[in-house]
Amino acid sequence: MYNLQTILTTLGESASQASQVAVKKGDLAQIEQTYYYQDVGKMSPLGQPLVSTRYFDKGAEWDRIRVIRFIQSEVASLPEYKDAMRFIEECTSLAKKNIASGLTRFVQRCIQDPSSLVSNSQLATLVGFFVEDLTKAGIPWSTEVWLQGIRLPIKEVKLAENSSLRKPMPSDFKFVTSLEDIMMARPFVNPIVDPAFLPDVVLHLAPVTVTGSEARKEVDPIVQLLRMYRSAPVSYVRIRQSANTFVRGSGHDSFRPQEFNSTPRVLTKIECLALPEFIGQFEKLIRPKLKPPNYYNDAIDRYNDSLLSRQTIEARFAFAVMSLEALLLGKGNDGELGLRLRLCGAKLLSLVGLNPVTAYKDIAKAYGIRSDFVHGSHLKSKDSETDKHLNRVVNYTRIILLISAQIEPGNKNNENFLSLLIASLINPEAEHNLVKFLTQDHLDLVRKLGTAQ
């Protein structure tokens, strides 16, 4: 009886030979594709980035739907294909659907270049991958995320050992088809022609041997930190996960067009150089706090709303103030909440070098806008100064989130922090205890990495 490697090698050779005949008959064909690429051009006189969409020359790749149909009608009838199916079903406990999709993808790779036979060395490599996947305990998943809302002046920033942020490249914009679309032979409509799908940056996470859902969870903390680095309105456009496997699920590809027409934050070269340190220092503090329910996670959600919401500017003021309230007021408050909020906010911001008088006035005005808004009133006039005021308040919220990241999870710890903060308002000598609680090193870190507008 043949062993599995012999069966698969013979199948690969047969499929490669059959594909040459299929090309001549027209059963296999190449399709043309146009690649799109978004870039930041020169700066406008107002300092805003000018976005340009470049259209690259048409490329070509094999029509995957035709490939699948060819496999179903031609290759699946080969004795080697039937032998492989029978052998794998006897030797593994994998679901039949996964076995069939694995074999289909194996054959796809064998016939990806129908103009010539797949070499024996290539077949040996493919067979090795296939056999390995039959018994592999874990799959190394890699994750690629398209983001809008932040841009780089340089080609790439290495965030950590396993992650990087880079400018988009032409190769990013090839047509993609999910495994489900391939197997079901459904036509795939490419959404990239819509500018809403074009990324400003691409976040890449190196392969990790976990489940696909666990790999997906590694993305959210990094994206949240990008939002908290410079009040950047970072939003998801596309999340693509892939695994180098033949038998099991190969990946997931989802598109999310940005709905909020915000101005992306263009980082400076100096900010790019400091970004890896920021990610390294704050990820370990913020990651444990992203699991609801807790006051800090609630504050982050409202901060995100103030950045990304499509609602009115009054609503965005309200979201920013609600985030500050979650961080600085605690439970069971009575009396002058607005006064406490602006006093506590101004005090904290002064610890990292911001002007407390300006912060006090800005928070007071924002609290008034929020109060009027929740009672049905709106601003009578809105201009560029209103936008600047909102940006300052959102920035205050971001910085106080970074300061509060030092507080260990738990309501009791937050209550101790708020008690020290209020005491420092009454007794200047109590500020020493507040700084000791937060640690001077942490405050210096926020001042160094997190206080820019």
pLDDT, residue 244, reads 61
Q: Please classify residue 439 by burial: count the beta carbons closer than 10 Å to its beta carbon, then call 0-12 exposed, 13-18 middle and 19+ buried.
A: exposed
Q: What is the model's pLDDT at position 453? A: 60
Q: Is residue 92's pLDDT more than 80?
A: no
Identify the residue with better confidence: 206 or 273.
Answer: 273
Block residue for tokens 């406990």: 93
CA angle 140, 90, 98 (to 5 degrees): 40
Q: Does residue 8 surpass a pLDDT of 90?
A: no
Single-letter amino acid code for the residue at 149: G
Each domain of the chain, given as residue ranges in start order, spans 4-27+63-135, 34-60+139-255, 291-449
DSSP, collapsed to helix, strand or coil, labels residue 399 as helix
> Which residue from 407, 335, 399, 326 is spatially nearest to 362, judged by alpha carbons?
399
Q: Is the pLDDT at 3 greater than 60, yes or no?
A: yes
* pLDDT tens readout for residues 178-211: 433 333 333 334 444 455 667 889 999 887 766 6
Lookup result for tokens 């043309």: 32
- What values do phi and psi take at 426, rounded to 5? -95, -40
Measured CA distances, 36 to 53, 59, 193 (Å): 7, 11, 7
pLDDT at position 429: 84
Q: How buried is 79 (Cβ within 10 angstroms: 0-12 exposed, 13-18 middle, 19+ buried)?
A: exposed
CA atoms within 13 A on the CB side of 43: 9
| pLDDT at residue 41 tops 60 | no
pLDDT band with cut points at 50, 70 and 90 for residue 4: confident
Within 258-336, where are the H helices? 269-286, 295-308, 313-328
**What's the alpha-carbon Rg for the chain, to the nearest Å?**
28
Joined together, the tokens standing for residue 97 give 């659907």
Q: Between 442 and 119, where is the model more confident? A: 442
pLDDT band of 212, cuts 50, 70, 90? low
State which H helix or E strand residue 374 sits in. Answer: helix 356-374
pLDDT, residue 189, reads: 40
3-state helix, strand, coil in the chain (%, to 5): 55, 15, 30
Residue 258 is predicted with a pLDDT of 53
Beta bridge partners of 148: 235
pLDDT in tens, 294-319: 889 999 999 999 998 888 899 999 99
Compute, in degrees rounded to 10, the torsion defined by CA atoms 416, 422, 423, 426: 180
On the question of pLDDT at 248 being above 80, the answer is no
Tokens of 263: 């101005």
Q: Which residue(s) pair with 252 in the sheet? A: 241
> Quick one: pLDDT band at residue 47, thresholds 50, 70, 90?
very low
Listed residue (402, 386, 315) closest to 351, CA to CA: 402
Other C-beta atoms within 10 Å of 371: how many? 14
Please write the tens of the pLDDT for every residue from 105-150.
788 878 876 666 677 777 777 777 777 766 665 667 778 889 999 9
Pick the residue with more confidence: 119 or 223?
Answer: 223
Asked if the model's pLDDT at residue 54 lies above 60, the reply is no
Q: Is the preceding omega at residue 293 within 30 degrees of 0, hence cis?
A: yes
| 89: nearest Cα among 97, 304, 443 | 97
End-to-end C-alpha distance for the chain, whole angstroms? 71
At 155, the amino acid letter reads K
Is residue 446 scored above 90 in pLDDT? yes
pLDDT for 395 beyond 90: yes
Ramachandran angles phi, psi of 190, nearest 5°: -75, 120
At residue 197, the pLDDT reads 66
Across all residues in the chain, what is the average pLDDT? 80
pTM assigned to the model: 0.75
**pLDDT, tens digit (0-9, with 9 covering 90-100), for 341-350:** 999 999 999 9
Distance (Å, rounded) from C-alpha 289 to C-alpha 303? 14
pLDDT for residue 225:
94
